């Protein structure tokens, strides 16, 4: 029983997990996936296009949307709101697209509470040593920066069991990992939890 409606997919992972690279490959391989465009109350920067880089809305509008339950997850950072509007994701889901939100653990937990059928995927390196090596390998982070990020990862990964899947992003396996990502979504579409109307449909009730 194949679900016509797309799946809302939340992807998190520590800095150094390579989740962005995995997602880019997924988008390259399949047209069934779209990124969700976030909303923000900050001003557009030169070159930023409304509806492409962000949906730019006023603080008053954002707060009104929060109040009426129209925001799936949000954060407040340096005096501005950033978040995901339900109307934005709903449109793509209705068209059968799988909508990908690349957000941190806190936002993921908000989505899990508000939209129970969202699918949560955690992308991780094979182990902590690899995570550290990848962060150091970038060469752009200070020692303090690296320590902070590792500490943060340790805290974030404590939430791993709130996710549905944990996808290990091995070195040099991007083709395999992106396939696995796509397989997970395909498999989910056959899950009975996502096909509660199966019996009635089958018997045309």
Tell me which residues touch a copy of itself (CB under 8 A).
Answer: 1-2, 122, 124, 127-128, 154, 157-158, 160-161, 163-168, 180, 183-184, 186-188, 190-192, 195-196, 198-199, 201-204
Dihedral sign, CA of 22, 184, 83, 103?
A: negative
Looking at beta carbons only, is 39 or 105 nearer to a copy of itself?
Answer: 105
Q: Which of 168, 167, 173 is nearest to 187 (CA)?
A: 167
Looking at beta carbons only, is 92 or 188 nearer to a copy of itself?
Answer: 188
Looking at beta carbons only, is 140 or 192 nearer to a copy of itself?
Answer: 192
Looking at beta carbons only, is 71 or 123 nearer to a copy of itself?
Answer: 123
Looking at beta carbons only, is 76 or 199 nearer to a copy of itself?
Answer: 199
d(CA 64, CA 8): 23
First to last CA, the chain: 16
Tell the residue number behind the tokens 């020692």, with chain if given.
143
**Smallest distance from the beta carbon of 97 to a copy of itself, in angstroms?**
20
d(CA 130, CA 193): 35
**Smallest distance from the beta carbon of 115 to a copy of itself, in angstroms?**
18
User: Long-range CB contacts (< 8 A, 24+ apart) of 54-58?
Assistant: 55/85, 55/88
**Smallest distance from the beta carbon of 183 to a copy of itself, in angstroms?**
4
**Smallest distance from the beta carbon of 4 to a copy of itself, in angstroms?**
13
């Amino acid at each position: 029983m194949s679900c016509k409606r797309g799946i809302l997919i939340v992807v998190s992972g520590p800095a150094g997990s390579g989740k962005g690279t995995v997602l880019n490959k997924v988008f390259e391989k399949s047209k069934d996936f779209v990124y969700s465009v976030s909303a923000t109350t900050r001003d557009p920067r030169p070159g930023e296009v409304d509806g492409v880089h962000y949906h730019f809305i006023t603080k008053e509008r954002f707060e009104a949307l929060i109040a009426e339950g129209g925001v799936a997850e949000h954060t407040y950072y340096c005096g501005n709101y950033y978040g995901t509007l339900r109307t934005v994701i709903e449109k793509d889901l209705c068209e059968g697209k799988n909508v990908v939100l690349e957000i941190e653990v806190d936002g993921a937990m908000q989505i899990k509470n508000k939209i129970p059928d969202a699918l949560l995927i955690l992308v991780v390196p094979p182990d902590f040593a690899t995570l550290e090596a990848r962060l150091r390998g970038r060469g752009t982070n200070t020692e303090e920066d690296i320590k902070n990020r590792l500490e943060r990862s340790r805290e974030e990964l404590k939430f791993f069991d709130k996710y549905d899947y944990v996808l290990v992003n091995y070195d040099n396996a991007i083709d395999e990992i992106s396939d696995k990502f796509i397989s997970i979504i395909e498999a989910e579409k056959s899950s009975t939890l996502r096909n509660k109307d199966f019996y009635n449909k089958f018997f045309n009730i």
